[in-house]
Amino acid sequence: GPFQFSGQLDRTEDEPSLEARFRAEKVVLDDGMRLLRYAVPVLAGASLDLKGHLDTDLYLQGKGKSWNALSRTLAGHGVIALNPVDLDGAPIVTELSKIAELKRQGRVASIKSDFLISNRRITTDHFVLDIGRVPMGLSGWTDFDGRIDYRINLNGLNDQLPDKARRFLSELNVDLKTLKVLTLRGTVNQMVVQLNGVSLDRDLLREAGIHVKKQDREK
């Protein structure tokens, strides 16, 4: 797919300054695009055999003689879309599979986001992940050191559950409306997913004070 670049470098002052714009349209994803994890946090946490297509439009400006100096002044904005993108193997898919049904074909997602670059961070309030039957909105940031901090709103999760599951959970007095915030924290190399501040690997029901009979635990 086409990838376009335009820019200028000004070295007439003590600190060189740059201005650049990148555009891509239907560019095929591959393993060499690991930098995408900084703008697309759902790719964080593992090396992926990326399959899909990328569209993006990115504007940057900054100045400095070294990367450290440049990173402090770097500012810009952009939009990015991965559609489709196969997220099979991504940690976020593994974790979501614990609370929602994601069949193999349901792991092919579409992602759209706009973002700002400032103060050594890439920040977004408009990140939309559409995967399976669980559309999600993300807001948060990734900094240039690779740290991530995002919130995912799961308000639509309760509507996706089968009637039998809803009836069973109501018998256990589990209010799914209170289980609606996922957080992604850690780094682009090691991401931790939590639901309402609790790791999905822990016993959510027991920690919520809900005691389930042994024969009902599997359900």
Predicted local confidence at residue 127, as pLDDT: 95
Q: What is the pLDDT of residues 124-169, one digit of tens each?
A: 999 999 886 667 889 999 999 999 999 987 666 666 666 776 676 6
Element (H, E) at 207: helix 204-207
Digit-coded pLDDT (tens) for 95-104: 777 666 666 5
pLDDT at 159: 64
Cβ count within 10 A of residue 1: 10
169 contacts: CB under 8 Å, gap ≥ 6: 161, 176
pTM, 2 dp: 0.80
> Cα(198)–Cα(34) distance, rounded to whole angstroms?
28
Q: Over the chain, what is the mean pLDDT?
A: 83
The counts of H helices and E strands in the chain are: 5, 11
Burial of 152 (0-12, 13-18, 19+ CB in 10 A): buried
Mean pLDDT of 59-72: 95
DSSP 37: G
**Residue 148 CB: number of other CB atoms within 10 A?**
24
